[in-house]
Amino acid sequence: MTPRTLVFATNNDHKLSEIRDILGDSYRVLGLKDIGCTDEIVEDGATLHENAAIKARYVRDRFGYDCMADDTGLLVDALGGEPGVHTARYAGGDGHDSAANMTLLLRNLDHIDDMEKRSARFMTVIAITEGDDIRYFEGKVEGHIAFAPRGSHGFGYDPVFIPDGMQTTFAEMDADEKNSISHRGNAVRKLLAYLAPL
Ligand code: IMP
């Protein structure tokens, strides 16, 4: 069967390969570079849903492909749900400095010695355009923020996130193990269940 083409509005190679692994051979997933989109898409929504929709609609409107886009936030209970929608640019800058983001997060939790009180969750919202309509899929994973970064796999805040029921951070897991429980994995599996019968 010819694989179905889907554009995923991201320049993040880690995310592209995660999505390709989860969606499997039935889908050919193209990133922004693959369709010649080098624009900086301004994500100025107030929620994860708004930001995901902004990216998906941008590609749909300018490039004509139906498109999926995700937006992820790390919500830390002791910080009132921050960084939340500010997760990418928590420490300022252009959102690519994961080391600075993790350093700030660990500093802001410095006074909390009790692991139970370092509870947090990753939440992903995937938006997918269907012509003028848009559909959303959500996924989350509960866990805790480690006292120091551990591991070298993955990206972003993976070295400081320990999912519930595990001793290791996301960055100490291989990609399959992370995908099987992650926020994005859970959201993509819902998307896949929706797409499969189409
Ligand atoms: P985005 O919405 O996917 O661009 O992600 C927002 C922020 O969350 C960025 O700082 C990412 O590095 C971080 N992030 C997104 N997904 C993950 C993940 O699976 N692990 C760790 N950090 C992530």
pTM of the predicted model as reported, rounded to 2 decimal places: 0.90
DSSP string, 44-66: --SSHHHHHHHHHHHHHHHH---
Confidence of residue 195 (pLDDT cuts 50, 70, 90): confident
Q: Mutation test of ligand 1: which of 47, 142, 155, 180 has the most ligand atoms closer than 8 Å to its C-beta? A: 155
List, edge to edge, every strand of the sheet that includes 27-30: 27-30, 4-8, 67-76, 119-130, 133-145, 161-163
Mean pLDDT, residues 106-132 taken together = 96
Among 27, 55, 39, smallest CA distance to 127 is for 55
DSSP type of residue 73:
E
pLDDT digits (tens, 9 = 90+) for 169-187: 999 999 999 999 999 999 9
Asked if residue 155 belongs to a known ligand binding site, the reply is: yes
Q: Mutation test of ligand 1: which of 13, 42, 74 has the most ligand atoms closer than 8 Å to its C-beta? A: 74
Domain boundaries, the chain: 4-195
Cα distance between residue 130 and residue 89, in whole Å? 30
Atom 7 of ligand 1, nearest CA residue: 88
Cα distance between residue 120 and residue 143, in whole Å? 5
Asked if residue 156 belongs to a known ligand binding site, the reply is: yes
More confidently predicted of 74 and 66 = 74
Please state the φ and ψ torsions of residue 43, each to the nearest 5 degrees: -100, 85
Going from the Cα of 72 to the center of ligand 1, the distance in angstroms, rounded, reads: 6
Asked if residue 178 belongs to a known ligand binding site, the reply is: yes
The answer on pLDDT for 21 being more than 90 is no
Angle at which helices 183-195 and 13-23 cross, to 10°? 50
Cα distance between residue 75 and residue 86, in whole Å? 10
The per-residue pLDDT for 192 is 85
The per-residue pLDDT for 10 is 92
Residues having CB closer than 6 A to ligand 1 are 70-72, 87-88, 95, 98, 101, 154-158, 170, 182, 184
The per-residue pLDDT for 25 is 86
Cα distance between residue 181 and residue 54, in whole Å? 27
More confidently predicted of 36 and 23 = 36
Fold of the CATH domain 4-195: Maf protein (3.90.950)
Does residue 176 carry a catalytic annotation?
Answer: no
Cα distance between residue 86 and residue 196, in whole Å? 33
The answer on pLDDT for 190 being more than 70 is yes
Which position among 71, 110, 114, 133 bears the catalytic label? 71
